[in-house]
Amino acid sequence: MLLLRCPLLLLLLLPLSSRPQKFPTRDEELFQMQIRDKAFFHDSSVIPDGAEISSYLFRDTPKRYFFVVEEDNTPLAVTVTPCDAPLEWKLSVQELPEEASGEGSGEPEPLEQQKQQITNEEGTELFSYKGNDVEYFVSSSSPSGLYQLDLLSTEKDTHFKVYATTTPESDQPYPELPYDPRIDVTSLGRTTVTLAWKPSPTASLLKQPIQYCIVINKEHNFKSLCAVEAKLSSDDAFMMAPKPGLDFSPFDFAHFGFPSDNNSGKERGFLKSSSKFGRQTSSKPRVDLHKVCVGNKNVFTVSDLKPDTQYYFDMFAVNTNTNMSTAYVGTFARTKEEAKQKTVELKDGKVTDVFIKRKGAKFLRFAPVSSHQKVTFSVHSCLDAVQIQVRRDGKLLLSQNVEGVRQFQLRGKAKAKYLIRLKGSKKGASMLKILATTRPNKQSFPSLPEDTRIKAFDKLRTCSSVTVAWLGTQERNKFCIYKREVDDNYSEEQKKREQNQCLGPDTRKKSEKVLCKYFHSQNIQKAVTTETIRGLQPGKSYLLDVYVIGHGGHSVKYQSKLVKTRKFC
């Protein structure tokens, strides 16, 4: 005989109505029992044959399920899956209450007599377990009787799943594991791990639709997909927790991944990582746990991992017809370390050129040989902005983005060592010059105004000349201006590609030089100079560059300016 097969309405918990309800069985003529006493059967339910149910346990509040095996020598399999906490569970059996009496009328016994027969007998314990593993009870020949499954969670409120069947050989709802259920790590990199596994015989031999879901996290391995979904879900489980004292149907499909009648148009497949289970909340899944389903592949490369980090990998074979899953033996692996950066030693007062790959980083070290009160770092970013971090003996002193020329002065310390980390731009490779010194007057880079643009006066344009102006500083520096004729279709994008501020006048042709002059002003508001560039051709475009050259000979280029002479005068 089988367990209880019945429509959804009969699977609701028995005590929800005060009128008599029939105990659902496969053959009601063989066994009938009227349930009228709510006190005994409250918060208990009937396990159907061949269907997995999901339910909820409050901490230290036991729950009991019933099912009936109506004939001796019946195969029986029961599977209990803890989701997010260990469970204590016990399976026991009692003899079925004897059928109606004396006259053989076929009418059921009075309820009170049946209740006495059930409650007064302890029953025979068949199996018990305590832990968070997916555990099974399997018997090829079970006696007839009223079976009861008692479950308890002593740690916390939790979810669980139960599956029971009297036809375990033919049902096979859980995917079968291969003879070697381990996950192999076939390749290991700094940010990638390649995994391989053997296919489930359910897919390769029985040709049932199986897909594989990989779970990656940094904490521990998981023993069931139910535990994974509980961790991912905003409510920590598939289903909403019922209110204490109120029972609910174990087949409340809308709560664990199936469409309900009122929501049939919306997809809620639980294999999709974007699905939400239970009620919608504003909380977000934890970012350190990821699940990805890869179809029927048997090899997959996990990418975007962190270097030198241990990760745990779990694999679940999922039967897409039943939505039931089986866990492979999980594994773990540590990604490789980042290639150790060569640290460049900085010499006091000497400019060092640094090249950084796109999104890359470079490390520099500065160890002054003498005691010092202050240390100065001067940085000249040639292209896009770069990030600089300075640590003194491990303590972070500075973290700034640098564009153009910047100078940072930090408090010194005897025998201190400074570690400088330079991080490049996301847009492309970075070039820069850096100088570290303990001598405040040792400045190799010229000082710059905040605004390094060149201004052209449109009203002063002629067919052979243009007039421009730029800002200076209070420090006396040498300024050199250069011109270069360009095509009329010369674009801003071309100009941007040529904006390497570290290229000095020595890279220019002598014919492009206009003039050099010294300039400064003690009044910063009046630190402006103008220059008229003559000898130009009518209607032609020119690219103008101004270089400021410091006392140490190092130069910095202002932003290039594109000008055009008048065609007719």
Instruction: Report the CATH architecture of 454-564.
Output: Sandwich (2.60)
Alpha-carbon distances, residue 442 vs 41, 94, 99 (angstroms): 89, 95, 107
User: Which CATH superfamily groups domain 344-437?
Assistant: GOLD domain (2.60.120.680)
Residues 168, 174, 175, 178: what is their CA dihedral angle, to the nearest 10 degrees?
-70
Longest dimension (CA), the chain: 130
Domain 36-96+123-171 and domain 174-236+288-338, same fold? Reply is: no
Contact between residue 427 and residue 386 where contact means Cβ atoms under 8 Å apart: no
pLDDT at 450: 84
Phi-psi region of 440 (alpha: psi -120 to 50; beta: other; left: phi over 0): alpha
> And the tokens for 214?
């990989």
Q: Kindly report the pTM of this predicted structure.
A: 0.49
Regions of the chain where pLDDT drops below 70? 1-44, 97-122, 234-287, 341, 440, 442-443, 492-498
Q: Which residues pair with 92 in a beta bridge?
A: 125, 148
Domain chopping of the chain, boundaries: 36-96+123-171, 174-236+288-338, 344-437, 454-564
Phi, psi of 202 (to 5 degrees): -60, -30
pLDDT at 122: 65
pLDDT at 238: 38
CATH of domain 174-236+288-338: 2.60.40.10
pLDDT at 99: 55
Radius of gyration of the chain (CA): 39
Question: Residue 295 gets which letter from DSSP?
Answer: T
Unique residue bearing structure tokens 């990418």: 303
Which DSSP helix (H) or strand (E) runs through 112? helix 111-119
Identify the CATH class of 36-96+123-171. Answer: mainly beta
Q: Which residues pair with 556 in a beta bridge?
A: 548
